[in-house]
Structure 1
């Protein structure tokens, strides 16, 4: 086994005041996030959490079936961690949007569990603690290059992809008002 930063053990638990590389995936890898309406729900919830000073977002990318964030949980949202609030709220809004504009998709997200009728996010998101500036920069490069992968071909340069923090780091533009430059932390 090599000495790669990507060989970190899988964990979905996060602690307050630690920076994490976090991956959340749509159930069954469905490409729900290829629609801007769902991405706007995600951005709106991140903005709300940032405005309430519950999280700090350093980098992100929204892909058709998953998202990557580099973020920090600053304080609880009531009794729950902000990432739990994020998943609950986005799921409820996804359900509303699906019912109103994409009713044929609703069956893709039905659940048979007793505690819920629908699930949009897969269980057990990946959370990897960022322990150094080098690790942060490697994870951020991975995030920003994700849309350029041949599999996706969503943009020709990282900063051309709308649903990413690449433009913030290349041009200083935070069109969503959710980002904090990582130099403030590392």
Structure 2
């Protein structure tokens, strides 16, 4: 989707049970974007998780499946919210990147060290696993 420029990706974090993204759709409805995003990202997430040998994550995705035609389920629902101000945009960007170091997760000490996030890109210019446009 991103390479075809249907959306611009500004930020992301993929957590063990959920994900957050900050995107700007290009010439599509939010319904089209969420459907295409769900399908595309589920495929990419499964591919990366399998490459990284995250068997615990795969078990969660298998347990959560709702469609018998699929082995895994990544998304329960996708909630989209419009952002109309720079202040709210900055708040959402910070919230997304703080997820891995939140008390209830504590996945890393430095948010930029969480590989499934764009925080390293913003904090230190590191290349993220998903290209930021």
| Corresponding residue to 2:97 among 138, 144, 156 | 144
Contact 1:57/1:72 (CA < 8 Å) preserved in 2?
A: yes
Q: RMSD between aligned alpha carbons?
A: 2.9
Q: Which has the larger radius of gyration?
A: 1
Change (3 A) 1:160 1:91: closer
Contact 1:75/1:82 (CA < 8 Å) preserved in 2?
A: no
* Residue 86 of structure 1, CA deviation: 2.3
Equivalenced residues, count = 121
Per the alignment, residue 123 of structure 2 pairs with: 170
Give the structure-2-normalised TM-score. Answer: 0.73
Point out where structure 1 has 5 or more consecutive residues left out of the alignment.
1-48, 181-186
Contact 1:147/1:153 (CA < 8 Å) preserved in 2?
A: yes
* Residue 129 of structure 1, CA deviation: 0.8
Contact 2:115/2:129 (CA < 8 Å) preserved in 1?
A: no
Q: Secondary structure at the match of 1:72?
A: strand
* Residue 90 of structure 1, CA deviation: 4.0
| Corresponding residue to 2:27 among 60, 68, 75 | 75
**Higher relative contact order structure (alpha carbons within 8 Å, sequence separation ≥ 6):** 1
